[in-house]
Each structure stands twice: as structure tokens, then as C-alpha cells.
Amino acid sequence: MTEASRQFDFEGRIARDEKIEPNDWMPSRYRRQLVRMISQHAHSEVVGMLPEGNWITRAPSLRRKISLLAKVQDEAGHGLYLYGAAETLGAEREDLINRLLGGDARYSSIFNYPSVTWGDVGVIGWLVDQAAMVNQTMLTKCSYGPYARAMIQICKEENFHKRQGMEIMAVLSAGTSAQRAMAQDALDRWWWPTLMMFGPPDEESPHSSELIGWKVKMKSNDELRQWFVDLAVPQAEALDLQIPDPELVRDSKTGHWISGPINWDEFRSILEGEGPCNRERIESRRESHFGGAWVREAARAYEEKCRKKKALERESL
């Protein structure tokens, strides 16, 4: 087959909603785009453990501690599925991680904000995991098989995360005046950064049209952001909390909630590494990675020992 006929065949498979699998032919740019997106996603899961991990030792009860521990462990698992999905495209996990530790890789802007109160743990579950789920629900239908399948499992877990976050918020908002104030303050600080998670506005998103054409992204950044706002506004009302957007208004014709302007300068400065916690996040990852080198060495030594033992057993047969 010529390059042109392979390309034609590939485009036909995308048009018929067939999944592309690791050993199938794919354009090199499709492969590169997927490695970029999946690796950024994997890094986001792993760095995303840090804001909530900060509260494991200070959770207000044993029950809260158990569910927070489980949630943070789930995020580590999501990172593993996603590094695995990137490897199916020929990427080397070690390279990807080294780029993150070297400060050269992107991960979600949202994790560069500090988690200063227990209310932040509630809001992260309620809003950040819900935003992730809105985005990832569409990715379950994406054209690359391993990514789509990883998303199905991840979305199930994100749903539990969202519920535990909403439950924390419901308890705080029905609590003492100090607890209510804590819940509102957390919402005030995390609302706008959560809207930024969906990426730049469509007209400033360089990758969207290509990715939508290949059915990697199934909806644009603005479409997903709108879907999220429409879900979150009635939830905030049910929690008796105020969305910190004085311009938020419901369009009576479409039924959509229309937000005021997003501060894209803040988003850009985070992408340039100037957010409140960018340096701290990479430093924490570096500490964990280099501090954990002995675990990797021990695992490799054990693997080698098992390999030698098996070889000896085979020889003695």
C-alpha cells in the first residue's frame, strides 16, 4: 500500500467510528498528538495527587481519611493507565517522566493552586473531578482504542470522587457559620481555575480542529466548559452556595448558564510556570521520584533474581 492509500484507509476508519489500535497504521502526526495529550493527561493525574495528598494527615475524621486515601490512590492508578496508553504508541515512560521532572512537560493548570482548607478538598472532588469527568466522558468515545478504554475505567472512579466531594460540601454548607464560610471561600477560589481546565477558548486552541477531525477530541473546549457550567450552577444552588461570577446569567432561549469573562492572562501565566504552586509541585515530584529510587532499584534487583532463578531451573530440566 502506498502512503496515500494508507492515509485514505485511515481517514475512512475514523469516519466509520472504528477504533485505531496500537499495531494499526496511523499518520505520524496522529501518533505525536496522542502522545502529547495522553502524557499531559498522565502527568495531570500524578501531579493532581498533591493538593489533596496535602490533607491526608489532616482529614477531620477516620472515615474522611479512608475515602481521601482511596481517592488519591485512584489518581495514581489513572496515571499508570495513561502512561501505559502512551507506551502503546511507542513513547518511553522514563522519557515522559524525565520531561515532567525537568519542568518541560505540561500538566493541568488546576493543580498549580494551593489547597489551604478542608473546604478545598470538597471543592476539588465536586468541581475538579466533575470537570475532568465531563471532559473524559467524551474521551471514552475517542478514536484511539487504548485511550478510550482507559477513560471508561477512569470515569467510573471520577464519579465516586465527585460524590465524595459533593458530600463534603453538603456537610460543610449545612454546618456552622464557620463551616459555611469555609465552603464558600473554597468555591470562590476554585471556580475560575476549574473553568480554565477545559483549555483556551476555541478560537485560541491550536490543536482542537485537528484533534476533532481525527475524533480524538469529540467536543471543543468551549462546548465542554459550557456543559460543565450548566451542571455546576444548579448544584451550587442546591448546596446553597454562590458562584463567584456576578455576570452569570441564564439564557432563557437556550437554557444555558452564560459565564462572565475568564481571566486568560492568569491561565497563560500558569502555563508559563508562574502560578502560585508551579515550582512547589515539580519540586515535590522530584523529591518523591529521587527519594523513591531505592524502591525501583530493589524491584529491578528482585526481577533479575527471579529471571536468574527461572534460567537455572530451565537448565536443570
Enumerate binding residues for ligand BYC (CB under 6 A).
36-37, 40-41, 44-45, 48, 75, 106, 108-109, 124, 128-129, 132, 135, 196-200, 205-208, 211, 217, 221, 271
Amino acid found at 35: V
Query: Shortest Cβ distance from residue 195 to ligand BYC (Å)?
Result: 10
Query: Shortest Cβ distance from residue 18 to ligand BYC (Å)?
Result: 21
* The three three-digit cell numbers of residue 139, written as one number: 474521551
Strand partners, 258: 249
Please work out, in degrees rounded to the nearest 5, the angle formed at the alpha carbon of residue 295 by the alpha carbons of 290 and 298: 130
Query: Shortest Cβ distance from residue 252 to ligand BYC (Å)?
Result: 29
Is 101 or 181 the residue whose CB approaches ligand BYC more closely? 101
Query: Shortest Cβ distance from residue 121 to ligand BYC (Å)?
Result: 11
CA separation for the pair 169, 130 (Å, rounded): 14
**DSSP letter at 144?**
B
CA separation for the pair 232, 130 (Å, rounded): 9
Is 44 or 184 the residue whose CB approaches ligand BYC more closely? 44
How far, CA to CA in Å, does 36 sit from each of 111, 195, 216, 244?
18, 22, 12, 33
Query: Shortest Cβ distance from residue 122 to ligand BYC (Å)?
Result: 13
Is 85 or 236 the residue whose CB approaches ligand BYC more closely? 85
Is 99 or 286 the residue whose CB approaches ligand BYC more closely? 99
With a CB cutoff of 8 Å and minimum separation 6, the contacts of 84 are 146, 150
75 close to 49: Cβ distance less than 8 angstroms: yes
Is 109 or 259 the residue whose CB approaches ligand BYC more closely? 109
